[in-house]
Structure 1
Amino acid sequence: MQRPEFVLFGDSLTQKASDPEGGWAAALAHNYQRKVDVVNRGYSGYNTRWASHLLHSIFRPDQHHIQLVTLFWGANDAALPDRHSARQHVPVPEFKQNLQSMIEHLREASIDSIILIAPPPVFEEGRIQHNCQRSGTARTETTLPERTNDYTSGYATAVVELGEELQLPVVDLWTSMQAQCDWQTQLLCDGLHFTPAGNRFVYQQLQPAIDKAYPKLRANIMSFDFPDHSDIDPENPAASFRSSS
């Protein structure tokens, strides 16, 4: 018996999501325990241009057990082209096309249950402090962040637009996070990555999106992959497992 899989494909915001201290992927796995294997395919530092080279390795046509894919990209693509993270920058039109190509690849592999996640907002002061601490340099009046919230908004908008064009659900973190009080420090730890509260917020946005868009994937209606221990006949356990196969 092949257990169904949810594959989470993204950058460090996905890679770090398996953190046992409240990561949003860990929360998702907890909700689907014994029902779905939640597979984290997050690649810290990657943009959509680089991630496109991974598609044929991660998503093959024979993987019929993949029931859902999340595409969570844009945070690195939105690195400013004239700052120290310029190597990660991907222009918005290319970013949108890369994301569309990912979706087309998934659909060609018979994976139709897809959720797009727009990048979160950027707290520029937090990015400046983080970068200065990491590099061991002092902040000056001319110190600038390598990402800005305004610039990232273009990437979030592209994700929302693509979802509308392709009729796919979108979790718009850029908008929803900024509606929260003190999001800059309560939800983000360094101006970009999530605090435990930020991870909880992502999960609380994602799970309802799954439930609404793909009702058959609601955790409460999916079955365990093997019998519950209470259903195993202690006198003839083999029969219990035959009936579940």
Structure 2
Amino acid sequence: MAEKAVKSTVSNWPKAILFGDSLTQFSFSADGCWGAKVTDYLQRKCDVFNRGFSGYNSRWNKIILPKLVTQADAESIAFVTIFLGANDSVDKSLNPQQHVPLEEYKQNLIDMVDYLQSIGVKRNLVILITPPACDEEAWALDCKLKERPTPPSKVNSITKRYAEACVEAAQVCGTEIVDLYTCMMKQEDWKSCLNDGLHLATRGSLLLFDLLQPILDKLTSELPIIYNLWSEVDSENPNATLDKW
């Protein structure tokens, strides 16, 4: 007689969802490694899902969020990061396709948090991350070298306003906040936190992880290590230990 099929429990592990634009999509790369650092830090506590979409702004991410995170997911969510604003804050006259007005950007963040709360994700499990500072000259050079389809349209002083709006959205919603922009600008030689003027270099990624770590500790402190440590397994009768899971 064939053995009875056992439903996989992989999807039942707690879930951490990293949601955003290219700064999230590239977060498992060699330079933009903050997502990989989060995954390593939380190994055997929860599964970390990268849901980053290069080039997307808050208007588009707001549309796709309900398609990516549903009520069926909510019970097992350990936390969600929302890392947007780098594209919203581009100069409208130079890049109208990606630009989102400041107040709409702030409202989009609030609406996304409200959606997550409506399906059962507590507000304190959401972490908003401000857009990083930008090195205008380096980004302009990178756009020229790579022949990007849009002209260089990043202005650091404008990005600052979007970072401030992100902080304000977190205060309105009661979520966690990582003010990456402000922390970057306090760094000596802050431009070395970026690898092309816009995306995070290794130094910037490590800075972001360091800012996230105390929040992750708070949100995951009660999550157990899944399955016993090897030294705790009964070598004579491993089933006695492992079948408890």
Partner of residue 3, structure 2: none
User: Residue 165 of structure 2 corresponds to which residue in structure 1?
Assistant: 158
Secondary structure of the residue aligned to 1:74 is coil
Match of 2:197 in 1: 191
Tell me the TM-score normalized by structure 1: 0.89
Establish whether residue 10 from structure 1 lines up as the match of residue 29 from structure 2: no
Is 1:168 aligned to residue 180 of structure 2? Answer: no
Whether the 8 Å contact between 1:171 and 1:209 is mirrored in structure 2 is: no
Say if 1:120 and 1:216 are closer, same or farther in 2 by CA, change over 3 A.
closer
Name the structure 2 match of 1:205. 211
In structure 2, C-alpha distance between the alignment counterparts of 1:153 and 1:180, rounded to whole Å: 15
Corresponding residue for residue 127 of structure 1:
139
Q: Is 1:120–1:174's contact at 8 Å kept on the other side of the alignment?
A: yes
How far off is 1:20 after superposition?
4.5
Deviation at 1:168, TM superposition (A): 1.7
Per-residue deviation at 1:152? 1.0
Once residues 17 and 206 of structure 2 are traced to their aligned partners in structure 1, the CA distance between those partners, rounded to angstroms, is 19
SS of equivalent residue, structure 1 residue 41: strand
The letter of the residue matching 2:136 is: E
Q: Which string of whole-angstrom CA distances, capped at 9 and with x for unpartnered residues, describes residues 121-149 of structure 1?
A: 1111111111111119xxxxxxx731100
Could you tell me which residue of structure 2 aligns to residue 217 of structure 1? 220
Q: Post-superposition, which runs of at least 4 consecutive aligned residues in structure 1 deviate over 2 A? A: none
CA distance in 2, matches of 1:149, 1:86: 17
Q: Hey, what does 1:43 align to over in structure 2?
A: 53
TM-superposed deviation, 1:216: 4.5
Identity of aligned residues (%): 37
* Structure 1 match to 2:4: none
Q: Check whether the contact 2:31–2:201 (CA below 8 A) recurs between aligned residues.
A: no
CA distance in 2, matches of 1:240, 1:209: 32
2:76 is aligned with 1:65: yes
Task: Please give the TM-score of this superposition, normalised by the length of structure 2.
Answer: 0.89
> What's the RMSD between the two structures over aligned residues?
1.6
Ranges in structure 2 where 5+ consecutive residues have no aligned partner: 1-8
Q: Structure 2 CA distance, aligned partners of 1:78 and 1:22? A: 20
Kindly report which structure 2 residues correspond to 1:67-106, keeping only aligned pairs within 5 A, or say none.
67-83=78-94, 85-106=95-116
- Report the equivalent of 1:227: 228
Alpha-carbon distance in 2 for matches of 1:159, 1:227: 40
Q: Does 1:19 align with 2:25?
A: no
Q: Secondary structure at the match of 2:97?
A: helix
Give 1:7 deviation, angstroms.
Answer: 0.4
Q: Distance in 2 between matches of 1:146 and 1:216?
A: 37
Q: Quote how far apart the aligned CAs of 1:21 are.
A: 5.4
